[in-house]
Structure 1
Amino acid sequence: MNSKYYLTEVDKNPQSIFCYHNLMGEKFIETHSHDKGQFIYVEGGVVHIKTNTRMYYLPARHYMWIPSGVRHSIYPSSPKVVMRNLYFPVSSISSVFYSKEGIYPINNLLMEMLLFTKTWNGDILKSQKNKHLIVSSFKVLLEQTVSKSLHLELPHPTDNRLINITNYLKDEIHQEHLLPQLASKFSMTDKSLYRLFKKDVGMSFIKYYTQLRIFKSLEYLMNSDYNISEIAHMVGYSSLPTFSNTFSNVMGKRPSEYRKSNEIYLDA
């Protein structure tokens, strides 16, 4: 789908709710924004959503709310990923929920309503009373059924030294990296590197590095035939129990539970 869709079709009718389902096989969706707020739900993998300040990791069976006007690009981790999108007009009196970026697990009620709309594409107008009632109710339920937003994002570093260091961590994710050795490699002291992480990205090295490893493991869990022990080693863990416990602490579920989310309900 080219940029014309994202820049013109969604917002062509400011009052409509715009539906677009089954974006499958996409490799990259360029940076863009909408006048409408965007609901994006993912099946079958992980989608990276990059804003000006953060990289979000949106896993299967979760959705993200992207407020009106937020510039973002989208990187599916696999051609197998399915994305379901609903774009809503957002009035100035909308609640705080619709003004903040957030990632949330989907519940059964929202899932059933979303699947009910899976054959709808394009504008849903108020004159289409039955359809409009369903998608309008869907928007209201987002706020009323929402749980706490999951922190599945990493901030973009701005300091060139930290940009190089975090790129190195991503490239060498299969190895375990300790702060002293990492600092030495980049000609820094332990304390200066620790302070740089806290100052530039607002979190400690260990928190940033742990989340980076766990978020990367999501891609392997969703899109590969590697077993969980192999995946643990692929993100630098020598101990499977340590990986599993860390994953559970970050994600709230065991790796095996997340792997079950790889089914795609195209025909549900």
Structure 2
Amino acid sequence: MEQLTTQEYLIQIDKHPKSVYVLHERTERRFPVHHHAKGQITYVEGGVAYLHVDDTAYIIPARHYVWVPCGLNHFLKVRHSASAIRSIYFYTYDDDSSPFYSRMGIYPVNNLLHEMMIYTGQWRGHIHPESRHYSFFTALKNLLSVSETQNLPIVLPTTQNDRLQPVLQYLDTYAAQLLTLSTVSQKFGLSERTLSRLFQSTLSMSFLQYLKQLRMVKAVELMLQTDLTLSQIAFATGYGSISAFSNTFYQQTQMRPSEFLHTIK
């Protein structure tokens, strides 16, 4: 299986509708935008991953997994190096047993699911119904729907708009600085009204909403990749106080930064 091309992997995933297809890798395989007839769970050990769906990037932090329902166009990008990328593609004949399987979501990995995902590292390729290991994967899939907790809504819109892309790159680089609609519009020779309309028409959100979400994504990355305190992370993402940072983080995720930090450590 190691010699398969990316396109051959995509064909293999759906080759046997009732099988479970296991794909574990040490480095990111850059699949293009694609979909498959099976549901997919992906767990990234270490690093930070992003699931791109249409013009939205969903962040997948450490100790979280993403469920991708069948038929959803997507691609995965690992922003920081990961020790392993574990993906399992499941049959769909029992998907109507729970609404969980029909919607995309990012969820924390509990201890049992974590151990089961690690245990799957010994397998590669198709696990067929007649295999004695098939029941293990059936149990794993069933566990997803019964252990489902709150979906993590840390998202960041993306765009191919030529006028807005350089603005977003600038915000990404200088997110820790004092940024306002006025200063950024002046930087790019635009009126505040033009830039505001560009954000609304292209990303369906305001300049301020986008900046808040960008800073939350950066905060999560700092929690995962550094040993900075929450106060240091607050200042590193443009907030003058820990309370302002905590309140914004709660607005975006429905949990306090300290609570989230507990789920990923």
Q: TM-score, normalised by structure 2?
A: 0.82
Cα distance between partner residues in 1 of 2:256 and 2:191: 36
Cα distance between partner residues in 1 of 2:92 and 2:243: 45
What's 2:13 paired with? 10
Letter in 1 for 2:238: G
2:190 partner SS: coil
What's 1:197 paired with? 199
What's 1:105 paired with? 108
Letter in 2 for 1:134: F
What's 1:119 paired with? 122
What's 2:215 paired with? 213
CA contact (8 A) 2:46 2:81 kept: no
C-alpha spacing 1:172/1:27, structure 2 compared with 1 (3 Å): farther
| Cα RMSD for the two superposed structures | 2.9
Cα distance between partner residues in 2 of 1:262 and 1:97: 22
1:57: how far off?
A: 0.6
Does residue 248 of structure 2 align to residue 246 of structure 1?
A: yes
Cα distance between partner residues in 1 of 2:29 and 2:207: 29
CA contact (8 A) 1:44 1:261 kept: no
Does residue 156 of structure 2 align to residue 154 of structure 1?
A: yes
Cα distance between partner residues in 2 of 1:260 and 1:175: 28
What's 2:74 paired with? 72
Cα distance between partner residues in 2 of 1:77 and 1:154: 14
C-alpha spacing 1:99/1:84, structure 2 compared with 1 (3 Å): same
What's 2:61 paired with? 59
1:209 partner SS: helix
C-alpha spacing 1:159/1:67, structure 2 compared with 1 (3 Å): same
Cα distance between partner residues in 1 of 2:55 and 2:234: 28
Cα distance between partner residues in 2 of 1:29 and 1:44: 18
CA contact (8 A) 2:51 2:75 kept: yes
Structure 2 unaligned spans of 5+: none
1:45 partner SS: coil
Cα distance between partner residues in 2 of 1:207 and 1:234: 18
Letter in 1 for 2:127: I
1:213: how far off?
A: 0.9
Cα distance between partner residues in 1 of 2:172 and 2:74: 21
C-alpha spacing 1:27/1:107, structure 2 compared with 1 (3 Å): closer
CA contact (8 A) 2:95 2:102 kept: no
Cα distance between partner residues in 2 of 1:42 and 1:257: 21
1:160 partner SS: coil
C-alpha spacing 1:92/1:195, structure 2 compared with 1 (3 Å): farther
- Deviations 1:14-34, CA, capped at 9 Å, x for gaps: 32101234x33x256231533
Cα distance between partner residues in 2 of 1:4 and 1:88: 19
C-alpha spacing 1:82/1:217, structure 2 compared with 1 (3 Å): farther
Cα distance between partner residues in 1 of 2:210 and 2:185: 15
What's 1:39 paired with? 41
Letter in 2 for 1:57: I
The count of corresponding residues between Structure 1 and Structure 2 is 260
C-alpha spacing 1:73/1:118, structure 2 compared with 1 (3 Å): same
- Deviations 1:102-137, CA, capped at 9 Å, x for gaps: 2122334433443443433321110014x2222123
Letter in 2 for 1:88: F
- Deviations 1:68-96, CA, capped at 9 Å, x for gaps: 34343322232244332110122496455
What's 1:49 paired with? 51
2:247 partner SS: helix
1:214: how far off?
A: 0.8
Identity within the alignment, %: 35
C-alpha spacing 1:237/1:162, structure 2 compared with 1 (3 Å): same
Given the alignment, which residue of 228, 231, 251 partners 2:230? 228
What's 1:171 paired with? 173
Letter in 2 for 1:175: Q
Structure 1 unaligned spans of 5+: 264-268
1:182: how far off?
A: 1.8
